[in-house]
Chains A and B, each alone.
Chain A
Amino acid sequence: MPAPAVPLSRPQSTVMLSRVAHSLYWMSRYIERAENLARLLEVNLQFLLDFQGIDDDALKDHWGSIIASSGSGELFAQHYPVADSRSVTAFLAFDLRNPSSILACVYAARENARMIRDQISLEMWGTINELYLYLKARDAAEVWSAGPNDFFERIKAHSHLFQGLTEATFSRSEGWEFIQFGKFIERADKTTRILDVKYHILLPTAADVGGAIDTAQWQAVLRSASALEAYRRFYVREILPWKAAEFLIFSDSFPRSLHFCVAQVDDLLRRILGETAARPRTEAARISRRLLGELQSRTIPDVLEQGLHEFLLDAQKALDLIGDEVVQTTMFYPIEANPDEQQQQQQQQ
């Protein structure tokens, strides 16, 4: 008989089904993903509006960089010839062919929520369902012509409402840990991508550094993480690019910084995987510990020397590994329909 992966630390009646953990995890991740995307698009649309006509050269790759940092460059290229505000927004917000578009994320979040309806409160379900129904009833063209800002506001509002309701109505049980784990791992990943946008923008010429556009671009990065005000409170001075990066990577108090998120992930991991000893037993905990260690001890000059982009890529990889390992260990056969994982019948002629 197969031994449990980790010692059974909870009484049987509160044991959590793998399928339920899986749905809670993904429901949470998808909502966080949708919210981050909404903010990213909103900020950058605004940014480009502000700088329209001032310097097209510096701006023309802006959209391209957003696509590149999202990791969906190839998929985008398959369906859209040119990266401009319209096509990028369509792809990242409404296109169901993009499994990470806002629409796809909300649909997936709702589907996961529906499968575990009896685990979440009525209000939590109601919030996701409402957002889903709202999106279903609209099409891209309609939203675009009405002004996309309303759209983004609604996504963010629902996400915040959902998180608040979860905080208020979801019992602090094992399910809670999976929800938080999903949220923070997604948020950490998105923060790295927000920072990475700036990398993909062609290196400015010497004259551009510190100039209006450069500063504005860094401001957009901070805004994409809702970090502008927090940054100003912390640094009180002008926006220096490396300071912004430092803030978003190393701050231990700002809830969207990489450090903050990874600290949460590390803590949740220990509880989920039952890691009580000083030295981690599981690979996921090992990777998380190492990443957290770096975020606790390295400095921004270190990172810039290594290369910001490389650093961020490493962090993304580490987060992917952590997520995968937790899914494998605690959720066994993921329910996400893998066409191979279906039942068949054998018969003899």
Chain B
Amino acid sequence: MRRAGDGGKSPAKPGSSASYSPVSIISPSYETGDFFDEMVAAGGDVRPHYRRLTERLGTLPETEFNQRRAAVDLAFLSRGVTFTVYGDNEGTERIFPFDLIPRIIPSAEWKRLEEGLAQRITALNLFLHDIYHEQKILRDGVVPAALVLGAKHFRREFMNFNVPRGIYVHICGTDLIRDKDGRYLVLEDNLRCPSGASYMIENRAAMRRAFPNVFQSYRVRPVEGYADTLLKSLLHLASSRSEKPNVVLLTPGVYNSAYFEHTFLARQMGIPIVEGRDLVVRDSRVFMRTTSGLVPVDVIYRRIDDDFLDPSVFRPDSMLGVPGLVNAYRAGRVALANAIGTGVADDKVIYAYVPKIIKYYLDQEPLLPNVNTYLASEPADRKYILENIPRLVVKSANEAGGYGMLIGPAATKAECDDFRAKVAAQPRNFIAQDPIMLSRSPTWCDGRLEGRHIDLRPYILYGEKIVVTPGGLTRVALRKGSLVVNSSQGGGSKDTWVLQGDE
């Protein structure tokens, strides 16, 4: 175990006598443990791109640091930057906990990520087009047909559909983690309704207010252009027939946990926010019900899952959707972002095949590797999983938000047995991975800086061209030792600074 600032061993460490004052927040007892730490390297040295930050923090008294934290929290509260927790009767609104220590990424590092992410979304888009048309990849046996056809989110209703511009995934949130050696790995893709971009923007605003000088000294690439780029990619989908296309955001409504984000993004883009009951389909065209009559809609940024989108085609009990919407889409009279049926490509089992998918469509090696994954649907893997559950992370193929997951090393025998039974009963629905020693980032915990596990969700927009927003949402597992970063289970977030240069 390494300690940063061990009595004068190496220079330029946080807590070295030059900048350490008894009330500063940088302390000599900061431990990196066995993990890759974002700020402190193996030898105890502060990484070059964090130096300016640690110097500043070294001169910052704890009381002032706490004041800035309080100010940021208050601002979030009064601006209503909240999310609603599922399962609560009244829907409790919570502030997404925010940590003031940013995660910093030098530009060379980011460039590699950007290329890898662009490659991935290109391949996944081609994959989606293929499996909803000729299904060549299935006939060639590269991905087992049963896995795709049996996937929960494979939408038969969408077969042979022609989507505007051939783009299926307009907005993608891919979760990245770093292993012990600091190598970036893709943890999962989110191709349906990825959320969190609003927090990315609000976090940036908060950091500017909290640390204006440090922020400026760093030349951080902006994220504020996100809404603009998003609107452009949505407009790109409108048919050439409409001179001034009407783009709307379709939300499930106030009871949805991400409702804040829906209203935030709609306001930023200057587009109307609507619920299913505000839309009506007439003769395969979609209209908005307004006080001035029916107004045609050309593009819908929908934050409703496929299942609930159209009761005449999908779940008939859905009160959130719009009857006739799918057929208006089919008739080419309205565009949806993301397209229907993208969930088959972010299925956790299909995830294991993404490197092969990249190779098949692009004839390239994946620039960003996957986490090594065992598929319970394969007999050899299944045997391994069942025998080694206490040592593995087991995930259900179709749950989101960290639910339906077992972290073997942290689980009780009863929990392991329960999962063993589930995997044996429905092997198609489970995968397992070796636990990754997720990287850590210094986080303010109960009065001191401690390392906490983090991940990164950059947002990729696919319009006229692919744009990877520099930065994204860094989520942090606030509980000590925890690997779970989701907001609903004790996670928080940090601002992510992608630098113009390398330090």
A contacts B: CB pair < 8 Å:
yes
Judge if A202 is at the interface, Cβ distance under 8 Å. Answer: no
B289 touches A17 (CB 8 A): yes
Chain B residues with CB under 8 A of A4: 292-295
Most buried by A among B270, B271, B277, B319: B277
Which one, B54-62, B232-240, B280-288, B362-370, is touching chain A?
B280-288
Q: Which residues of B contact A13 (CB under 8 A)?
A: 270-272
The answer to the question of B291 belonging to the interface, with a C-beta cut-off of 8 Å to chain A, is yes
Residues of chain B lying within 8 A (CB to CB) of residue A5: 292-293
Q: Please give me the residue from chain A that is nearest to B293 by CB atom.
A: A4
A-B contacts, CB under 8 A, total: 76
Nearest CB to that of B260 among chain A residues? A118
Contact partners of B323 in chain A: CB under 8 A: 343
Contact among A122, A330, A343 with B291 in the assembled complex (CB-CB below 8 Å): A330
- Per the bound structure, the CA–CA distance linking A72 and B50 in Å amounts to 72
Q: Which of B246, B289, B316 contacts A12 (CB 8 A)?
A: B246
Partner of A19, one of B244, B275, B292, B295: B275
Q: Which residues of A contact B311 (CB under 8 A)?
A: 343, 345
Residue total for B at the interface (Cβ-Cβ under 8 A): 29
B274 within 8 A of A: yes
> Is the pair A17, B278 in contact by a Cβ cutoff of 8 Å?
yes
Measured between beta carbons, the chain B residues less than 8 angstroms from A16 are 290-292
B263 interface residue per 8 A CB criterion: yes
Chain B residues with Cβ under 8 A from A331's Cβ? 291
Contact mask for chain B residues 66-89; partner A; CB cutoff 8 A; 1 contact, 0 none: 000000000000101000000000
A178–B316 CA distance with the chains assembled, in angstroms: 34
A272 and B291 within 8 A (CB)? yes
Interface string of A1-15 (1 = CB under 8 A from B): 111111111101101
Distance (Å) between the CB of B83 and the closest chain A CB? Answer: 15
Q: Which residues of A contact B295 (CB under 8 A)?
A: 4, 8, 12, 15
Beta-carbon contact of B289 and A18 below 8 Å: yes
A115 within 8 A of B: yes
CA distance A331 to B273 in the complex (A): 17
* Nearest neighbor of B245 in chain A, beta-carbon distance: A12
Interface contact A118-B273, CB-CB below 8 Å: yes
Name the interface residues of A1-40: CB closer than 8 Å to any CB of B: 1-10, 12-13, 15-19, 21
**Which chain B residue has the least Cβ–Cβ distance from A333?**
B289
**Set of chain A residues within 8 Å of B290, measured between Cβ atoms:** 15-18
CB proximity of B130 to chain A, nearest CB, Å: 33
Q: With A4-B293, A6-B293, A16-B291 as given contacts, are A118 and B272 in contact (CB-CB < 8 Å)? A: no
Q: Which of A4, A17, A115, A332 has the most CB of B within 10 A?
A: A17
CB of B157 to closest CB in A, whole Å: 16
In this complex, the member of B292, B294, B319 whose beta carbon has the largest number of chain A beta carbons within 10 angstroms is B292
Contacts of B270 in A (CB 8 A): 13
Partner of B263, one of A2, A12, A118, A345: A118
Out of A2, A12, A114, A118, name the residue touching B294 (CB < 8 Å).
Answer: A2
**A75 CA / B220 CA spacing, docked (Å):** 68
- Beyond A17-B278, A17-B291, A19-B289, 4 additional contacts (C-beta under 8 Å) are A1-B294, A4-B293, A122-B80, A335-B277
Q: What are 29 A-to-B residue pairs whose CB atoms are below 8 Å? A: A1-B283, A1-B294, A3-B293, A4-B292, A4-B295, A5-B293, A8-B292, A9-B292, A12-B244, A12-B295, A15-B272, A15-B288, A16-B291, A16-B292, A17-B274, A17-B278, A17-B288, A18-B290, A19-B277, A114-B254, A122-B78, A178-B291, A272-B291, A274-B292, A331-B291, A333-B289, A343-B311, A343-B323, A345-B316
Contact residues of B with A, CB < 8 Å?
78, 80, 244, 246, 254, 263, 270-275, 277-278, 282-283, 285, 288-295, 311, 316, 319, 323
